[in-house]
Amino acid sequence: MRTCPSSKQSGAALVEFGLVVSILFLLLAGTYEFGRAFAYYDALSKGTRDAARYMSVAKKATINSSSVSNAKDIVKNAADNAKVPGFARSNVVVTCLDASYNDSTCVDGNAPGGIRVEITGYAINIGQTIPLIGSSVRNINLTPRTTMRYML
């Protein structure tokens, strides 16, 4: 014998489905946003590593006059290829290090002890691509850096 559900419980499954779907959507949106941030950080980290590798074998005769500029271009190109939004060449800082790995200036003709390439002043917004959570936008600073020994 079949019984019909009471009118009080006929919409309960629909309400439960709505609650579960909304929570699932927020979890998926958060996963997407943090995955996007991780991809941008990874691209910038690879760019700093490539630029530091380039600087570690740059000729000391032109280390300041051309190599620093070329290293910044390497990072900028890596960011552009990964479609990192709003990234500028001015966000890249190349620092020569002395033999004790203290900060010093890059001078043509002098071999540094090491090289540091880092990203400064760059942040991305988390929460802007999903319209329902757009009002909860958070800025996250991405600051990858790579330090390498000067090889020549």
Q: How far apart are CA 47 and CA 75, in angstroms?
A: 4
For 8-30, write each residue's pLDDT tens digit: 666 788 888 889 998 898 888 88
Is residue 5 assigned to a domain? no
pLDDT of amino acid 34: 87
Is residue 54 assigned to a domain? yes
For 53-104, write each residue's pLDDT tens digit: 999 999 989 999 999 999 999 999 999 999 999 999 999 999 999 999 999 9
Is residue 139 assigned to a domain? yes
Is residue 101 assigned to a domain? yes
In the predicted model, is pLDDT for residue 5 greater than 90? no
Could you give phi then psi for residue 29, rounded to 5 degrees? -65, -40
Q: Which tokens in the block code for residue 67?
A: 């190599």
Is residue 6 assigned to a domain? no
pLDDT of amino acid 136: 64
Is residue 89 assigned to a domain? yes
For 121-145, write each residue's pLDDT tens digit: 999 988 776 665 556 678 889 999 9
Q: Residue 81 pairs with which residues in a beta bridge?
A: none
Local structure of 101: helix, strand or coil: coil
Answer yes or no: are the C-beta atoms of 67 and 55 closer than 8 Å: yes
Is residue 2 assigned to a domain? no
Count of domains for the chain: 1
Could you list the residue range(s) of the whole structural domain that residue 128 is in? 12-149
Is residue 7 assigned to a domain? no
pLDDT of amino acid 79: 96
pTM listed for this prediction: 0.82
